[in-house]
């Protein structure tokens, strides 16, 4: 009798605890209360839910006691798995699914099983788009009015997703989903990349239980700046032919299979965001060969072909117009034979990278089917986080760090030396901007330009076989990145929380697109009536079919060009119900309508933290922001230290510096890296090669200078030695010459002057390493990585002289650094 009373009391206690979580939760307790299999769903009021009170019985002896287990949180019954995919730097005309000439069968698969959306929009830049995508809020609302490298001290621009803006990862995780993030992470502020943390702005701090990807805007795909959770990893070591695009798919498939084996009924949310097709364009050789000769027609003919395909597929309206070709860009038929050869090769490699990326995405989708979960999986496949990138400038480059360092026009003849190796590990390539414009067909402009759909219109396909029955359908409603989170929440039955960790949440600002899944609502009007666009003061405002926007005063590929006053920008006006591609400007004909929309933009800008408007562009990079190394002039390291991000490393650019290494050489001779930053595409290294000290300076593959003792000088003996590299910079000014002295045990062994130095930036996807070189070497003729020092490093000290840049030079440097990380 006593035990039955105890059991009843426990049930009452459980029921009271469940009621504390809300009525909805109380109605969705499963299994026997207090049993190990009991589950509960949440009412969405707060995350995490309050702890349940113990509902069993505790007596002096276990024989008279009753165990009780707190219920396990699970999503509502019928909640699907979610696979959210987004590629990088791919405009509307890139994919074959939306009329492009590059086959994308994985995207085709999703579109044929579900729906294609023809009026879906981004923010025009990568990390702002990604912040909007994972929060369901406008990019300025969550501090990402621009990339983190340009962050400023205003709420809309600090690049911090605050605790009042819980991401979809956090919401789904706390509601019982297994959450994971694979690929690019450009939403952690640059000043938090170090392993010292804090990690609240890393994927783990945003609710993603597993992260496998790279930090920042881009990464070499052969030797990526890769992390598993918070730990830097090097999976390419010992794997010839390694490429991150394939490795990432392998890892996601492994993760999903492991999850299915250990918890087959637990739904997953996989956020899958590969680096393709952001520079560097680095597909495998096999994929490049598939596209040989496919772009000999040139960018103008390709653009016409894409537009015809789009009309045939119905992904642009029948009355849509192809916008005019810009005067700033050359027409294909005016080019020389060598120019056509080079530019066609650039497009072949870009296309190969795009197709390769889609192929690996297809493997991930197939793995879902192989687990028998495809019907119950919502797949959202977004083609690009912005329009196609213009950052290769007018000629393209085999090493984009030349462009990032102000060399915007590497001669065609110099580039042709890399024709056969374009896209391989020895190049870090980008294509000419005319291709980028053409890949944004039928629109004008490119990535970075938020005022025009060339920068913001993305292809989108969504499938969910259990729910979407209009397979192959097209949806023409206007929507935006902020609409993805509310769509996911609606289909999973999970409500946006009011409180997270006790902090009141900002409302979700997007609207659900789930209504479009119903065939009967295929032509229903969009509930997304108003949407602002803004990036570096290029502005746009959408209002129920009308669109007003500014005209970009300077093309985005003209780094450092002077910008006009904000008040002088020209405005355009379009009736999108009749003019899909922004081809016919009505501003002069309808000044009253334009004025109405301009006022609406200011209202929305004030509402969503867009103000103050700032058209300094990449000049904002000089804004002071948090840093653990700001102002330091002496850096000391002991032992082996690897993986320090460039933002936390001693910067040797545009100044005098001295490196002092106290080392112990082993018996038999010393060999290996002492200290290095950068690699094949630009950087420096101080090392011992077969017993002889060497310093190499790599000026972004344009000049390589090498300091070493004379050939007749004997190798270093076993024991302690002090090796110094002392560099005197010929400033003031930017990228000036300088003279370096290599000194061993107090004796000068080599003096050499170099005519130019790196002006702006070393490759940020490389790292600062002491005792080993972990990615690519600064001199492939001398050594191969990993190049670990076989002796002991007692101490390495950097002494930095003052910057020898004028204030205008400082501005140029910071602009270029930011440009390199978008």
Q: Phi/psi zone of residue 472: left (φ > 0), alpha (ψ -120 to 50 degrees), beta?
A: left
Distance CA 80, CA 473 (A): 21
Distance CA 89, CA 431 (A): 12
Distance CA 735, CA 760 (A): 8
Three-state DSSP state, 809: helix
| pLDDT confidence of residue 28 | 59
Q: At what angle do helices 337-370 and 298-313 cross, to 10 degrees?
A: 40
Which of 767, 634, 741, 758 has the alpha carbon at shortest distance from 702? 758
Would strands 738-744 and 719-729 be described as parallel, antiparallel, or unpaired? antiparallel
Enclosing H/E stretch for 348: helix 337-370
| pLDDT confidence of residue 819 | 60
Would strands 499-500 and 719-729 be described as parallel, antiparallel, or unpaired? unpaired
Q: Running DSSP on this structure, what letter comes out for residue 653? A: T
Q: 16-20 contacts: CB < 8 A, separation 24 or more?
A: 16/53, 17/52, 17/53, 17/55, 18/52, 18/71, 20/50
- The pTM of this model reads 0.92
Distance CA 221, CA 70 (A): 45
Tokens linked to 352: 């190969």
Q: Running DSSP on this structure, what letter comes out for residue 510? A: S
- Contact by Cβ (8 Å): 749, 743: yes
Distance CA 153, CA 145 (A): 12
Q: For residue 560, give every residue at least 6 positions away whose Cβ sits within 8 Å of its Cβ, in sequence order, or none.
A: 406, 618, 812, 815, 816
Tokens linked to 161: 């997703």
Q: For residue 567, give every residue at least 6 positions away whose Cβ sits within 8 Å of its Cβ, in sequence order, or none.
A: none
Enclosing H/E stretch for 261: helix 244-262
| pLDDT confidence of residue 9 | 37
| pLDDT confidence of residue 5 | 36
CA distances from 286 to 244, 272, 347, 619 (A): 15, 24, 15, 41
Which of 617, 751, 773, 570 has the alpha carbon at shortest distance from 683? 773
Give the chain's residues under pLDDT 50: 1-27
- Other Cβ atoms within 10 Å of 293 Cβ, number: 8
Q: Name the CA dihedral angle for 409, 414, 417, 418, rounded to a multiple of 10 degrees.
A: -20
Measured in whole angstroms, the distance separating CA 705 from the mean position of its chain's CA atoms is 33
């Amino acid at each position: 009798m006593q035990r039955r009373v105890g059991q009843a009391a426990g049930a009452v206690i459980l029921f009271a605890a469940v009621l504390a979580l809300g009525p909805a939760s109380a109605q969705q307790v499963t299994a026997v209360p207090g049993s190990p299999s009991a589950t509960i769903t949440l009412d969405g009021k707060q995350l995490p839910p309050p702890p349940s009170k113990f509902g069993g019985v505790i007596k002096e002896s276990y024989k008279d006691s009753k165990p009780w287990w707190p219920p396990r949180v699970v999503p509502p019954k019928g909640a699907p798995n979610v696979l959210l995919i987004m590629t990088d730097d791919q405009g509307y005309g890139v994919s074959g699914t939306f009329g492009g000439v590059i086959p994308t069968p994985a995207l085709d698969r999703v579109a044929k099983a579900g729906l294609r959306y023809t009026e879906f929009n981004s923010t025009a830049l990568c990390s702002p788009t990604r912040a909007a995508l994972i929060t369901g809020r406008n990019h300025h609302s969550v501090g990402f009015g621009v990339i983190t490298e340009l962050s400023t001290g205003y709420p809309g621009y600090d690049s911090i997703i605050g605790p009042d803006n819980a991401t979809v990862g956090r919401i789904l995780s706390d509601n019982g989903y297994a959450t994971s993030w694979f690929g690019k992470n450009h939403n952690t502020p640059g000043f938090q990349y170090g392993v010292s943390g804090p990690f609240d702005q890393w994927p783990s701090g945003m609710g993603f239980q597993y992260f496998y990807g790279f930090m920042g805007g881009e990464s070499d795909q052969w030797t990526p700046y890769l992390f598993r959770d918070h730990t830097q990893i090097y999976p390419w070591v010992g794997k010839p032919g390694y490429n991150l695009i394939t490795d990432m798919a392998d890892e996601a498939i492994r993760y999903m299979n492991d999850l299915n084996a250990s918890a087959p009924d637990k739904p997953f949310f996989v956020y899958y965001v590969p680096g393709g097709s952001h520079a560097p364009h680095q597909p495998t050789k096999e994929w490049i060969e598939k596209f040989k000769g496919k772009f000999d027609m040139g960018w103008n003919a390709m653009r016409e072909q894409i537009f015809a395909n789009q009309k045939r597929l119905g992904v642009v309206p029948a009355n849509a117009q192809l916008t005019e070709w810009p005067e700033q860009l050359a027409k294909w038929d005016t080019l020389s034979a060598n120019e056509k050869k080079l530019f066609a090769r650039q497009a072949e490699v870009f296309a190969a990278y795009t197709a390769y990326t889609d192929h690996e995405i297809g493997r991930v989708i197939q793995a879902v089917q192989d687990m028998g979960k495809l019907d119950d999986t919502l797949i959202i496949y977004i083609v690009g986080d912005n329009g196609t990138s213009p950052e290769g400038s007018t000629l393209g480059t085999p090493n984009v760090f030349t462009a990032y360092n102000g060399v915007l026009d590497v001669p065609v003849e110099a580039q042709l030396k890399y024709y056969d190796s374009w896209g391989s590990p020895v190049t870090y390539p980008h294509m000419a901007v005319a291709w980028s414009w053409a890949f944004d067909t039928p629109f004008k402009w490119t990535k970075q330009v938020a005022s025009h759909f060339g920068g913001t219109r993305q292809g989108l396909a969504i499938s969910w076989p259990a729910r979407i029955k209009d397979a192959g359908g097209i949806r023409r409603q206007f929507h935006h990145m902020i609409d993805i989170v509310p769509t996911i929440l609606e289909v999973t039955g999970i409500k946006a929380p009011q409180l997270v960790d006790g902090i009141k949440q900002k409302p979700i600002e997007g609207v659900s697109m789930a209504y479009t899944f119903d065939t009967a609502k295929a032509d229903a009007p969009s509930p997304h009536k108003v949407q602002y666009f803004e990036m570096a003061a290029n502005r746009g405002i959408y209002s129920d079919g009308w669109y007003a926007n500014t005209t970009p005063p300077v093309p985005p590929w003209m780094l450092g060009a002077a910008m006009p006053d904000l008040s002088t920008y020209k405005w355009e006006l379009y009736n999108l119900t009749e003019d899909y591609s922004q081809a016919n400007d009505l501003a002069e004909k309808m000044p009253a309508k334009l004025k109405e929309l301009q006022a609406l933009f200011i209202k929305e800008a004030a509402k969503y933290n867009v103000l103050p408007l700032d058209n300094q562009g990449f000049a904002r990079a000089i804004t002071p922001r948090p840093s653990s190394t700001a102002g330091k002039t002496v850096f000391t390291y002991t032992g082996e230290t690897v993986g320090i991000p460039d933002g936390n490393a001693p910067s040797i650019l545009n100044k005098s510096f001295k490196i002092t290494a106290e080392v112990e050489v082993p018996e038999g001779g010393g060999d290996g890296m002492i200290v290095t930053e950068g690699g094949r595409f630009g950087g420096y290294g101080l090392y011992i090669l077969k017993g002889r000290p060497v310093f190499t300076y790599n000026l972004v593959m344009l000049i390589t200078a090498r300091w070493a003792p004379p050939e007749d000088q004997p190798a270093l003996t076993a024991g302690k030695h002090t090796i110094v590299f002392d560099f005197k910079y010929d400033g003031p000014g930017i990228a000036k010459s300088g003279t370096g002295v290599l000194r061993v045990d107090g004796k000068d062994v080599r003096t050499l002057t170099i005519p130019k130095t790196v002006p702006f930036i070393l490759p940020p996807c490389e790292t600062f390493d002491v005792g080993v070189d972990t990615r690519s070497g600064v001199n492939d003729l001398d050594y191969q990585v990993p190049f670990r020092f076989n002796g002991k490093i007692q101490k390495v000290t950097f002494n930095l002289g003052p910057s020898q840049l004028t204030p205008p030079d400082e501005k140029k440097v910071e602009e270029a650094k930011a440009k390199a990380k978008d």
